[in-house]
Amino acid sequence: MKPFLQSLLLCSLLLFSDVAQATYHLGAVDPHLTAAQSHAQTRLNGRPPFRSLNPAKTDSQCRTRHLDLVFIIDSSRSVRPAEFEKVKIFLADMVDTLDVGSEATRVAVVNYASTVKIEFLLKDHFNKLDLKKAILRIEPLAAGTMTGIAIKTAMNEAFTEQSGARPRSRKISKVAIIVTDGRPQDQVEEVSAEARASGIEIYAVGVDRADMQSLRLMASIPLEDHVFYVETYGVIEKLTSKFRETLCEVKVEVMEDPCKCEARLVFQKKTQAAIQQLSAKLADVSVRVERLESVLGRA
């Protein structure tokens, strides 16, 4: 009987080892999975589940419409160097809110004073980092405020397919955002009407001394949705959230899993898998014991 007892003891030790190992792994489950059980119990006790939003996000995450977007920015003498830097920060912040890409939103910048300069085209940059680097390199042009010429240049050169604008058949919205702090020194009414008739939606942003009547002549209707005004360049960044809402296609609430249901399911699956493994080990030990008993019986 001694060999039989030794074999039985060995099998028992093997089984105990497997049980201990499985128990260890279950006990070492990610603390988030363990916490899931308390969250689930909280719900069973009738308490309201804890609802938290991702702190890195705002209350709603916005996916912007896919756009061909051209910023038309005033860099005339009235815009001081420090103020122009604020404009560039505003543009960079705007880029951060957009869904940028060759098949998403494309961005261009037209810089103007008494002359007009296309800083980069819709086809030039398809990621946010390159766009923001290009924005930071923009320099003011200094004199004059030829807003009408700037709008015409944007319409005839920046919004063309050769410059990266998508064809009309793609039904991609064409949007121009004009930022100025002065009164245009040329006519804007006719050229703005022509641009709008060609399918360009125009937003007019006035800062400080900007002429409100000119902004209204440039902007698309309804004017209350397309004309903005801020007192100084120092607060222009406040418009970022406004444009984010305006250009939003779908608002998606960003919320963590309040009851940790996903974590609880993972925990349950791991537990079931461990139990199945132990059951298989136990069955194997039973077979071994039966074989030993059979051998000893014949002896």
The number of domains in the chain is 2
Residues with Cβ within 8 Å of residue 265, at least 6 apart in sequence: none
132/187 same-domain check:
yes
Query: Would 203 be classed as within a structural domain?
Result: yes
75/179 same-domain check:
yes
Query: Would 198 be classed as within a structural domain?
Result: yes
284/198 same-domain check:
no
97/219 same-domain check:
yes
**Is residue 50's pLDDT more than 70?**
no
pLDDT band at 264 (very low <50, low <70, confident <90, very high): low
Mean pLDDT of 273-280: 74
**Is residue 221's pLDDT more than 50?**
yes
226/148 same-domain check:
yes
Query: Would 147 be classed as within a structural domain?
Result: yes
Q: What digits encode the pLDDT tens for the residues 72-102?
A: 999 998 889 899 999 999 999 999 989 999 9
DSSP string, the chain: -HHHHHHHHHHHHHHHHHHHHHHHHHHTS-HHHHHHHHHHHHHHTTPPPP--B-TTS-SEEEEEPPEEEEEEEE-BTTS-HHHHHHHHHHHHHHHHHS-BSTTSBEEEEEEESSSEEEEE-TTT--SHHHHHHHHHT----BS---HHHHHHHIIIIITSGGGTPPPGGG--EEEEEEEESS--SS--HHHHHHHHHTTEEEEEEEETT--HHHHHHHSPSSHHHHEEEES-GGGGGGHHHHHHHHTEEEEEE-B--TT-HHHHHHHHHHHHHHHHHHHHHHHHHHHHHHHHHHHHHH-
142/81 same-domain check:
yes
44/81 same-domain check:
no
179/265 same-domain check:
no
pLDDT of residue 24: 47
172/72 same-domain check:
yes
Higher pLDDT, 171 or 299: 171
Query: Would 277 be classed as within a structural domain?
Result: yes
CATH number of the domain that 140 lies in? 3.40.50.410
pLDDT band at 193 (very low <50, low <70, confident <90, very high): very high
Domain extent at residue 191: 60-253
Q: What digits encode the pLDDT tens for the residues 12-44?
A: 555 555 545 544 444 444 444 434 333 333 333
pLDDT of residue 207: 92
Query: Which pTM value belongs to this model?
Result: 0.63
pLDDT of residue 252: 41
**Is residue 152's pLDDT more than 70?**
yes
Mean pLDDT of 189-212: 94
Query: Would 16 be classed as within a structural domain?
Result: no
Query: Would 204 be classed as within a structural domain?
Result: yes
**Mean residue pLDDT across the chain:** 78
Q: What digits encode the pLDDT tens for the residues 243-260?
A: 888 887 654 443 444 454
95/182 same-domain check:
yes
Query: Would 146 be classed as within a structural domain?
Result: yes
65/96 same-domain check:
yes
71/202 same-domain check:
yes
| Integer-rounded Cα radius of gyration of the chain | 33
Higher pLDDT, 208 or 26: 208
Query: Would 166 be classed as within a structural domain?
Result: yes
